[in-house]
Structure 1
Amino acid sequence: MKVLISVDIEGVAGVFHFQQTRAGNPEYERARRWMTDEANAAIAGAFDAGATVVYVNDSHGDFRNMPPDLLDARAQVIQGKPRYLSMVAGVDLGVDGVCMVGYHSRAQGAGILAHTINSFAFAAVEFDGQPMSEAGIYGALAGEYGVPVWMASGDDVFIAENRALFPATTFVQTKQAMGQTGGVSLSPAQSCAAIRAGVVSALEGRAAVAPWVWPTPLTVTLRTQTPALADLFCQWPTFERTTPVELRFGAPTVEAAVRMLNACSAMSAMLR
């Protein structure tokens, strides 16, 4: 059994502020250790449940957050960008299921540090009118490769947003949101124990979880944070501007949609 573990940071226990998610300050250095510890808990759970190969995808920011020497040596780590499959890079390596650790709610949501892909540029992303979080977007991309989402962890708002999309997935709550930058958290040790147990439970019940396959082709609606960003993205000639801050484009596959969104995210650096 091959398992892919995709690890973000905003849903990690103890993480509440943007400073904890950005390199260059002591708070980030602590938070990246907690992120690594939760990744290790998921790795341990996967091997407890009989995994033979575990890939760990560093899925936050520049995708270079977890020190490889601090990760469980039994796992293989996927780091660095750009990469076409982004937060689920490795889903094309013959894996049987995905676990999402440290995930968060979508942009404009009520969860802790809520955003979708790029908090500077994107105010909302929809697939065929369905609001999408990163878990939804990348869960659909995994589904396109025939791979189900077995387990996911994050705050209570993240879980509420995604439970209907992934009804058979095992969710582990690490925090309760009391706003965008506050809430109640498990201790890092409690969170790691819950994640390890959650992965074991998810893998033991994996037969009940099917891949989530989004129908294609699809229409993507992207709402930007400013009209200037929509100006920039609509340099792409196939994009249709629908309002000063909204555009639409068609995509033949979820993978194509993800690659277009991530290209826009990279372009947005021109306006920072």
Structure 2
Amino acid sequence: MKILISTDIEGVAGVVHHQQVRAGNPEYERARVLMAHEANAAIAGAFDGGATEVLVNDSHGDFRNMPAELLDARAQFVLGKPRTLGMMAGVDQGVDAVCMVGYHSRAGGRGILAHTTNSFAFARVLFDGQEMGEAGMYGALAGEYGVPVVMASGDDVFIAEHRSLFPHTVFVQTKRATGQTSGISLSPQAARDAIRAGVAEALRQPRRPAPCVLPTPLAVRIRTQTPALADLFCQWPTLERLAADEVGFQAPTVQAAVRTINCLSAMSSVLR
């Protein structure tokens, strides 16, 4: 049984502030270690649950956060960018299930450090009228490969937002949001213990959840953070201007939608 663990940082226990998730300061250096230890807990849980092979996708920012020397030697690691499948890179390697560790609420959500892909660029992302966060987009991308999301961890708002998309997934709550940059967190060790147990429980289930499969093609609608970003994105010929701060496009697959969104995210850097 081959498992992919996609690890973000905003949902990690003890992480509540922007300084903790941005490279170049001591707070980030501590948080990336916390991230690595939660990944290790998920790896241990995967092997406890019967996995024979584990891939870990570093899924935050520039995709090279966790110190390699801290990571469990039994796993292999997907690092760096650009990569076609982004936070779900590795799902095309014949994996049987996905675990999402350290994930967070979507843009406009009330969760800790809530955003979708790029907080500078995107205020809201919708697939066929349904608001999507990173977990939703990438869980549906895994679904196109026939792979279910069996476990996910993060704050209470993240969990509440995603239960309908992943109704049979094992969720592990690492903290409770009391604001965008405040919360009540488990200790790092308690969170790791819960993640390890949650992954093992998910993999020991007699029947895995069905993959999250969205009907395609998709009508994608994006509300940008400023009209200037909508101006920029509409330089792409296949995008349509829907409002001063909204653009839209048609995507034949979830993968095409996610890849386009990631390209728009990269484009937005010219206006920073």
TM class by shorter chain equals over 0.9
Deviation, structure 1 residue 55: 0.1
Match of 1:239 in 2: 239
Match of 2:121 in 1: 121
Kindly provide the amino acid, as one letter, of the partner of residue 134 in structure 1. Answer: E
Instruction: Output aligned runs, 1:21-40, within 5 Å.
Output: 21-40=21-40
Kindly provide the amino acid, as one letter, of the partner of residue 181 in structure 2. Answer: T
Paired positions, count:
272
User: Structure 1 pair 13/220, CA: closer, same or farther in 2 (3 Å)?
Assistant: same
Secondary structure of 1:42's aligned partner: helix
**Does the Cα contact within 8 Å between 1:150 and 1:206 map onto a contact in 2?**
no
Q: Which runs of 5+ in 2 are unaligned?
A: none
Secondary structure of 1:38's aligned partner: helix
Secondary structure of 1:207's aligned partner: coil
User: Structure 1 pair 206/237, CA: closer, same or farther in 2 (3 Å)?
Assistant: farther
Deviation, structure 1 residue 208: 3.6
Cα distance between partner residues in 1 of 2:138 and 2:55: 16
**Does the Cα contact within 8 Å between 1:11 and 1:153 map onto a contact in 2?**
yes
Cα distance between partner residues in 2 of 1:138 and 1:121: 18
Match of 2:62 in 1: 62
User: Structure 1 pair 152/263, CA: closer, same or farther in 2 (3 Å)?
Assistant: same
Kindly provide the amino acid, as one letter, of the partner of residue 11 in structure 1. Answer: G
Instruction: Output aligned runs, 1:79-90, within 5 Å.
Output: 79-90=79-90
Match of 2:106 in 1: 106
Cα distance between partner residues in 2 of 1:271 and 1:44: 42
**Does the Cα contact within 8 Å between 2:123 and 2:223 map onto a contact in 1?**
yes
Instruction: Output aligned runs, 1:1-272, within 5 Å.
Output: 1-205=1-205, 207-272=207-272
**Does the Cα contact within 8 Å between 2:150 and 2:208 map onto a contact in 1?**
no
Kindly provide the amino acid, as one letter, of the partner of residue 137 in structure 1. Answer: M
Deviations 1:190-214 (A, max 9, x none): 0000000000001111624010111
Q: Which runs of 5+ in 1 are unaligned?
A: none
TM-score normalised according to structure 2 size: 0.99
Cα distance between partner residues in 1 of 2:37 and 2:124: 30
Cα distance between partner residues in 1 of 2:12 and 2:192: 10
| Structure 1 residue runs of 4 or more that deviate by more than 4 Å after TM superposition | none
